[in-house]
Structure 1
Amino acid sequence: MSKTGGGYWRRLVRRLTSDVSELDADDLSERSQAGGAQRACDCECGQEAVVLGRLRSVGLSPKASAPTLEAELFDGTEGVTLVWLGRRKIAGIEPGRLIKARGRIAVRDGRKVLYNPYYELQNTA
């Protein structure tokens, strides 16, 4: 059996035996790297980073005194919280949307955060 055939069968068996969330995470991770973004798990505090992933949740921060929109971006490896200070809503920023965000990584409560990131909405196809 050739290497290509063995690789094909191995991928097929993995696709048939893995759960959907694991497969989705793998697809997101591959798409992120193909889109020229860094893996969130490799980003460090203080580093300028570009991350690409799907928004898992979007909402107003209950902790902030001023309006603060927060969204959790997941790229298949780890989550990054996107925070827009002084905003209640941004058109296109909604759960399930694919987004590419750029900014300087900070850490808040042990989680990676991008404050007021530059962003691009991505096509889902």
Structure 2
Amino acid sequence: MATDSESAVEDHQRGLRKFFRRLTASDSELDAEELQRDAQQCGSMPALKCQRGQVVSLKGRLRTVVYTPRTNLPTLEAELFDGSDLVTLVWLGRRHIAGIEPGRAITAKGRIAVRDGRKVLYNPYYELDTPR
């Protein structure tokens, strides 16, 4: 069993490792870590662990939003990044959705599909998170 002084030393070493990690990590790495912490705190599944057919809840930030005009069915597509992986959100028959814009934090729920090797949620239920 660890003594109080051994615990204090371990806590100090953990704090130093965290400090040096923040100094040496890139902004994108720190952002990804923050997104993963936020997703974990709200109980969302990491996108990296999602499998085809699973019903999931994902929390992250929209990286891109693109309207894709197609001859038979227009689509609005957004890339959701949760710090671990990307998932494409696809709304069929939509040209625009208020609040769906790059940089917006969102929670999306639906069944994971795979299209061209990428994870996709079609017509997901979504909640816009309040801006910080």
RMSD over aligned Cα atoms: 1.3
Structure-2 residue corresponding to 1:17: 24
Query: Which amino acid counterpart does residue 80 of structure 1 have in structure 2?
Result: V
Separation in structure 2 between the aligned mates of residue 111 and residue 57 of structure 1, nearest angstrom? 15
Query: Which amino acid counterpart does residue 79 of structure 2 have in structure 1?
Result: E
SS in 2 for 1:21: helix
Aligned with 2:92 (options 80, 85, 93): 85
Structure-1 residue corresponding to 2:74: 67
Query: Which amino acid counterpart does residue 43 of structure 1 have in structure 2?
Result: C
Query: Which amino acid counterpart does residue 111 of structure 2 have in structure 1?
Result: R
Q: Report the Cα offset of residue 63 of structure 1.
A: 5.5
Separation in structure 2 between the aligned mates of residue 43 and residue 120 of structure 1, nearest angstrom? 19
Matched residues, number = 125
Within 5 Å, which residues of 2 pair with 1:18-57? 18-57=25-64
Q: TM-score with structure 2 length normalisation?
A: 0.90
Separation in structure 1 between the aligned mates of residue 71 and residue 88 of structure 2, nearest angstrom? 15
Q: Report the Cα offset of residue 65 of structure 1.
A: 3.3
Which deviates the most, 79-88 or 64-73?
A: 64-73
Structure-1 residue corresponding to 2:4: none
Q: What percentage of aligned pairs have identical amino acids?
A: 57
Separation in structure 1 between the aligned mates of residue 56 and residue 71 of structure 2, nearest angstrom? 25
Moved over 6 A (4+): none
Q: TM-score with structure 1 length normalisation?
A: 0.95
Unaligned stretches of 5+ residues in structure 1 = none
Separation in structure 2 between the aligned mates of residue 12 and residue 123 of structure 1, nearest angstrom? 29
Aligned with 1:103 (options 107, 110, 117): 110
Structure-2 residue corresponding to 1:94: 101
Q: Report the Cα offset of residue 2 of structure 1.
A: 1.8
Q: Deviations over 1:14-37 (max 9, x none)?
A: 000010001100100110111110
Which structure: larger Rg?
Answer: 2
Q: Report the Cα offset of residue 123 of structure 1.
A: 2.0
